[in-house]
Amino acid sequence: MRKAVVVFSGGQDSTTCLIQALAQYDEVHCITFDYGQRHKLEIEVAEALCKQLGVAAHKVMDVGLLNELAISSLTRDNIPVSHELQENGLPNSFVPGRNILFLTLAGIYAYQIGADAVITGVCETDFSGYPDCRDAFVKSLNQSLVLGMDREMRIDTPLMWLNKAETWALADQCGKLDVVREQTLTCYNGIIGDGCGDCPSCDLRKAGLDDYLANRNAIMAELVRKQQAGQA
């Protein structure tokens, strides 16, 4: 039996990954992290989607220590989410160490249940400038987890080389475009669906959707090309 663990926030990217995984694996588990995030409603959204989509198990893990250590606009309500980059070149929504912690814990969970893969929706092609969404980081951490647990396991990143328009195309290809559009939470200000329309996450989501709806056939064809080339 092929099993997978999806790092699941209830957002556009992780929901698209989950929908795809449900078609590819015999058993899919989800793990969601509560780190005191600004958009905490995402945990309830994740729970609802897991029930609706029929995952084998959904674990919500309290990692509040991350909130204490990592200062970011996503961990502090008194820091507004900014469109401007900080002096270090990163957005102020970057939570240092978040994906290091999340993927490590997901790897431990995968070890315990005998899963073949950990699936995460990180993306280097069309991302928010976060260094822990890059392919080199994921490959490095994957190697460390295999060495540290002495067990083969993959960290799969189905969206790594897709832009946001192509991610929408993937949801459509899986027959769940409306679910992803209407029921996921990507907005940093905690508004389900199309979001607040003002934060950087909403900007990326809307630009990708507008592009896909305006150029549906061409973008779907490019998605298929990337899938055939092993890039998705």
What are the binding residues for ATP? 8-18
- What residues contact 221, with CB distance under 8 A and at least 6 apart? none
Both structure tokens of 210: 């507008």
CA angle 190-198-169, nearest 5°? Answer: 80
CA 216 to CA 210: how far, in whole Å? 10
Distance of alpha carbon 63 from the chain centroid:
17
CA 43 to CA 35: how far, in whole Å? 10
Q: DSSP 3-state assignment of 59?
A: strand
Binding site members: 8-18, 187, 196, 199, 202
Q: DSSP 3-state assignment of 170?
A: helix
CA 179 to CA 214: how far, in whole Å? 19
Instruction: Please report how the helices 200-214 and 216-228 are oriented relative to each other, as an axis angle in degrees rounded to 10.
Output: 100
Alpha helix positions (H), the chain: 12-24, 41-53, 65-69, 98-113, 135-149, 164-173, 177-183, 200-214, 216-228
Binding site members for Zn(2+): 187, 196, 199, 202
